[in-house]
Structure 1
Amino acid sequence: MSIIRRVRDITLASLNEHLEKSEDPVKLIDQFLWGTREEIIQSERLHSQYSAHSQHLKMQWLQAEQQKDKREQQAVTALKAGEEQLARIALHEKASADERAAQYRELYEQSRLSLEDLGNNLQEMRSEYQIAYDKREYYSARMESLKLQQRMNSRYGAVGGGKQDGMFRRLDDRLSGMEHEARSLRELRQGGVDSSQGRTGAQNPAVERELEQLKRKLGQGG
């Protein structure tokens, strides 16, 4: 079991699910990054304390091992000198050192495993932090692109596609009308009227009546 108590409301495993429902993914990721960063800081502090404690246990274990070896050598020396009582005392102290060494060794092994577990969790959290940070950068850039696109559409979409398009369309219609009038007059001059009538001055009564009607319609008749 991990020795780190999870304090985040959102884990990386559930972040994607929350992102799909969030209206502001950057804000949501910032909350995740803040919680993860706080957890990393606390875990790093705990890792440093655990590491110092583990080194202390190892030192106690090794000192007890050295004490055990030393008392054994003293017992041998005492026996060689014929001092059995001193040898017994040395062997008794050796047994105490041996027991102490075994105890500290067990504590050190437990501490080493916990330290390894803590290190793995730290590495996992740092990796999660980096993944979430990369996601934040992506969503931040994506939202900025969307905002700029909306601004562009607001400025050039409605204005360019509405008022300006209408203005150019009216101008085009007006020019087309003028071109049509000029083309009609040109066709009329080229062959629409009998040139012989034009030279002799003969007039057609029906034509004259229609001409007067057109003048009145155009505001030229009196």
Structure 2
Amino acid sequence: MSIIRRVRDITLATLNEHLEKAEDPVKLIDQFLWATREEIIQSERLHAQYSAHGQHLKMQWLQAEQQREKREQQAVTALKAGEEQLARIALHEKASAEERSAQYRDLYEQSRLNMEDLEKTLQEMRSEYQIVYDKREYYSARMESLKLQQRMNSRYSAAGAGGKPEGMFRRLDDRISGLEHEARSLRDLRQGGPDFAAAERGAVNPKVELELEQLKRKLGQGG
């Protein structure tokens, strides 16, 4: 039955080695399970064929054995009746039946041993399948947890790139505070008293005009 076990590319003994190199362990496990399941199906079919064949061999063996016993009784009956030639014929047929009985018995025993071997192989494969299937469910759950963790990390990274809400509003507060400061400064200037009023009426101070031009250039407003 070892021929059945060799059709798989990956056996349970080498599965772990392949898993260490696999990018997607769950996919590899699924391939192993599929191959094992196919072997189990084929082995179950072969087991059914062996069972039917074994029953046929056993029937042939038992029929030959019954024929042997029958011919032996006939030989005894013929001798009792003084029919020596008939007894000789019956014993000849008895020997043929005995030979057939031994042949079918040997075939049946070999078939029975093969079927027992196949049953052990089937039991091992079913056990392997269940063990790997349980591991598959475990690793599948781990992979799903990993994917969810990666998605969560990605969302947090995206949120972190834009800054926390507190930081965003702090920057907005600073901007508004700056605008408020500028507005107050202009208000204070307009309420600055006689000097500011004189400037408003058009009094020209060369020094002031020079500094004004410097400020314009600094602010990019120069003509």
Q: Could you tell me the TM-score, scaled by structure 1's length?
A: 0.73
Match of 2:59 in 1: 59
Counterparts of 1:53-202 in structure 2, within 5 Å, are 53-159=53-159, 161-165=160-164, 167-169=165-167
Q: Give the Cα–Cα distance (whole angstroms) in 1 for the partners of residues 22 and 57 of structure 2.
A: 49
Q: Give the Cα–Cα distance (whole angstroms) in 2 for the partners of residues 139 and 5 of structure 1.
A: 25
Match of 2:41 in 1: 41
Letter in 2 for 1:100: R
Number of residue pairs aligned between Structure 1 and Structure 2? 180
Letter in 2 for 1:16: N
Return closer, same or farther for 1:124/1:5 CA change in 2, 3 Å cut-off: closer
The Cα of 1:156 is off from its aligned counterpart by 2.9
**Runs of 4+, deviation exceeding 6 Å:** 172-175
Gapped regions of structure 2 (runs ≥ 5): 174-184, 193-223
The Cα of 1:162 is off from its aligned counterpart by 4.6
The Cα of 1:102 is off from its aligned counterpart by 0.5
Match of 2:207 in 1: none
Query: Contact conserved, 1:3 with 1:114, CA < 8 A, in 2?
Result: no
- The alignment-based identity, stated in percent, is 80
- For residues 170-205 of structure 1, the C-alpha deviation after alignment (integer angstroms, 9 at most, x for no partner) is 657999xxxxxxxxxxxxxxxxxxxxxxxxxxxxxx
Q: Give the Cα–Cα distance (whole angstroms) in 2 for the partners of residues 129 and 18 of structure 1.
A: 17
The Cα of 1:4 is off from its aligned counterpart by 2.2
Q: Give the Cα–Cα distance (whole angstroms) in 2 for the partners of residues 173 and 88 of structure 1.
A: 122
Gapped regions of structure 1 (runs ≥ 5): 176-217
**RMSD, aligned α-carbons:** 2.4
Match of 2:195 in 1: none
Which deviates more from structure 2 when the two are superposed, residues 61-70 or residues 41-50?
Answer: 41-50
Letter in 2 for 1:163: G
Q: Give the Cα–Cα distance (whole angstroms) in 2 for the partners of residues 11 and 74 of structure 1.
A: 59
Q: Give the Cα–Cα distance (whole angstroms) in 2 for the partners of residues 73 and 171 of structure 1.
A: 113
